[in-house]
Amino acid sequence: MASRQPSPPLTRAQESWLLAGAFLTLAGGVFRLPPWLGAAVVLLFSLRATLWWRRQPLPPRWLLGLLVLAVSAGVLLTFRQFFGRGPGTALLTLLLVLKLFELRRARDGVAAVFLSFFLLLVHFLEAQGMSMATLALTALLVLVAALASLADDGRKIADHLRLSALMLAQATPFMLVLFLLFPRVQGPLWGMPADAWSGLSGLSDSMSPGSISSLSLSGAIAFRARFEGDPPPHALLYWRGPVLRDFDGRTWRAGPEQAATGAAASAAGLDYSVTLEPHNRRWLYALDVPLAAPPDAHLSAEYQVLAKAPVRSRIRYEMRSAPSLALDTGADAASLQPYLDLPANNPRIRALAAQWRRESPDEGAVIARMLRHFRGEKFFYTLTPPLLGEDGVDQFLFETRRGFCEHYASAFVFAMRAAGIPARVVTGYQGGERNPVDGWLTVRQSDAHAWAEVWLAGKGWLRVDPTAAIAPERVEAGLASALPAGESLPFLARADLSWLRQLRFRWEAVGNAWNQWVLGYDSQRQRELLSRLGMREPDWRAMTALMTVLCAALLAGLAAWVLRRQASTDRVQLAWQRLGRKLARSGLERCPWEGPRDYSLRVAQARPDLAQDVRAIAALYIGLRYGKLVGKASLQQLEKRVADLKPALRR
């Protein structure tokens, strides 16, 4: 760069601002990096901070060059490429840290600040929660303060921070206008490249022993729901997910998808809305039994709500369900046949079920006997059941007798089919926790559950939850109360830390509000808002026009405010200029460089009739502008005397 004047070297205060800003920026993303890259970032930053602390010189450029090559090679080794979000973010983060080793002049400082700005933006591709936003805002405040210190060093810390806060406050109205009015594309706020779905958890379309119990260790939120009125009792909160039909002896899988034959449109339903976290699967969760699917989704023959595409961003939908509804009462034998198929293993339960069926032809009695079997024998409800072998169902029912809900549901459905009763496994979530702060029901991964449905002639599909027979508390009150003490549970799902739970309730309520109003502000909501403001069917042109007009108005308002502030301090000056204009009309113009005393003497000499007034005005002006005279009274006096002065035209 052929800059004529080299930019000045950085002072220690400026350096500390830059390091603080970079620290906050890095803190937002370092934990999402691959472990060794994250460790490298932490190590390099600590090294840089130590150099700053000990006032030691920065490393030479060739060493930095080597480091750049090393970290680039590291990123390439980890990701196998440079393209894509993961390697891009990692590279950017490492380069920011290395840039900190190059902070010599103000130019480097500006570069580091803008790199930090960019990295803050990149963080939002990965996380958009409240905590990320708070961190980013703090980092922004410090970074702008760093810029302020680069522009004008000799000030106090508080001055830089105040200036930074003021600038951000001035930017806020513009941010709001842009946020509310910038034409939205369909889809999430942050469009993400395709490698973003790796870390999402949730139920899958198959179930084998252990698959749900492992999910139960996660305290992550699956979805939130809000009912129009009071939510139904805990025991009725069965959130229907994948329905599993085919069994291979170990794993239950969903059957082929079939469209609903006839939608049961019952009037008596429960209205609620669900905000579903992304889980990269097509199904939407709905309270058993959903009556109709929301837009862009449909109801399957097994009463699953299926979206058109996998859920890859948080979505919100309105649902209506009927808690007690007879399903497919008139199903024919052919359509029920797949619900009777069994693999050839597990002979003991097969024999037992067949025997039960022979003894009592009534299907209800068979179901009751099976449940009695669970209740009568010493079965345990546990998150850590022993591993099962070839004949898993037999082993569980007659030997280990320890299992989680998937074991019970699986064994129950197996037994029913063996007894000739059509049955299927339904997975989903059971229960949910009502957040007392905002009234939303929160359903977590730890609420994952599996239950059974049996088809009885005349009654249709009926829900039977064998877990309720073993551990009724699971269904009545939740997982924490159903497990024996000492079982490991997600820390926050424990009931005994009440203050912690209160804190979590509040934090989650804030997070939910953030999700609903900030992240959930999509094109749909934008249209709603604008139509509430009186814009019918706003298209992007209208929105852009409105946005431009509002921004211009804001800018004008801000300018007026600044000018007014300046004007109020300069009322003295305005009055003095007015005097000059008045006298200029009678040929006594003030030279731009002429001082007040000289001017008043000149005027007094030329116009003895005005001498007294002009001298008094000059004395007031001198006192106000160059002396220690302050106060409204003197200012008003000055303005009044200037206004009253009537220099007649020169004769």
CA gap 180, 518 in Å, rounded: 10
Q: Which of 54, 156, 541, 628 binds another protein (CB under 8 A)?
A: 628
Chain positions 432 to 461 lying near another protein, rule: CB under 8 A, are none
* Pure H helices in 216-302: none
Helix (H) and strand (E) counts for the chain? 23, 19
Bridge pairing between strands 402-403 and 380-381: parallel
Tokens of 566: 């300046």
Mutual angle of helices 130-151 and 498-514, in 10-degree steps: 70
Considering Cα of 393, then 394, then 397, then 401, what sign does the dihedral take? negative
Catalytic residue among 405, 447, 522, 613: 405
Closest CB to another protein among residues 455, 621: 621
Closest CB to another protein among residues 55, 628: 628
Min dist. Cβ of residue 116 to another protein (A): 34
Q: Centre a 10 Å sphere on the Cβ of residue 516 and count the other Cβ atoms it contains.
A: 19
DSSP states along 382-399: -SSPPP--SSHHHIIIII
Is 465 a catalytic site residue?
yes
Give the interface size with another protein as a residue count (CB under 8 A): 14
Closest CB to another protein among residues 511, 623: 623
Mutual angle of helices 611-625 and 571-585, in 10-degree steps: 150
Using CB under 8 A as the binding rule, whether residue 626 contacts another protein is answered as yes
- Scored b (16 or more CB within 10 A) or e, 273-289 reads bbbbbbbebbbbbbbbb
Min dist. Cβ of residue 592 to another protein (A): 3
Catalytic residue among 123, 449, 522, 613: 449
Min dist. Cβ of residue 161 to another protein (A): 24
Chain positions 569 to 608 lying near another protein, rule: CB under 8 A, are 591-598
Closest CB to another protein among residues 242, 596: 596
Using CB under 8 A as the binding rule, whether residue 8 contacts another protein is answered as no
CA gap 174, 179 in Å, rounded: 8
Min dist. Cβ of residue 178 to another protein (A): 38
Min dist. Cβ of residue 637 to another protein (A): 18
Chain positions 606 to 625 lying near another protein, rule: CB under 8 A, are 622-623, 625
Closest CB to another protein among residues 120, 575: 575
Q: Which of 65, 84, 436, 627 binds another protein (CB under 8 A)?
A: 627
3-class state of residue 95 by DSSP = helix
Closest CB to another protein among residues 615, 625: 625
The CA–CA distances, whole Å, from 363 to 90, 354, 420, 454 equal 61, 12, 9, 10
Min dist. Cβ of residue 630 to another protein (A): 11
Closest CB to another protein among residues 234, 578: 578
Tokens of 542: 């209208």
Considering Cα of 594, then 597, then 599, then 605, what sign does the dihedral take? negative
Using CB under 8 A as the binding rule, whether residue 491 contacts another protein is answered as no
Min dist. Cβ of residue 590 to another protein (A): 9
Is 153 a catalytic site residue?
no
Min dist. Cβ of residue 584 to another protein (A): 15
Q: Centre a 10 Å sphere on the Cβ of residue 308 and count the other Cβ atoms it contains.
A: 9
Tokens of 265: 């449109």
CB 234 within 8 Å of CB 431: yes
Bridge pairing between strands 297-299 and 221-227: unpaired
CB 169 within 8 Å of CB 144: no
Catalytic residue among 108, 394, 465, 522: 465
* Pure H helices in 248-383: 333-336, 347-359, 363-376
CA gap 330, 333 in Å, rounded: 10
Is 405 a catalytic site residue?
yes
Min dist. Cβ of residue 627 to another protein (A): 4
Closest CB to another protein among residues 377, 598: 598
CA gap 446, 202 in Å, rounded: 10
Closest CB to another protein among residues 525, 582: 582
- Active-site residue list: 405, 449, 465
Binding site for another protein (CB under 8 A): 591-598, 622-623, 625-628
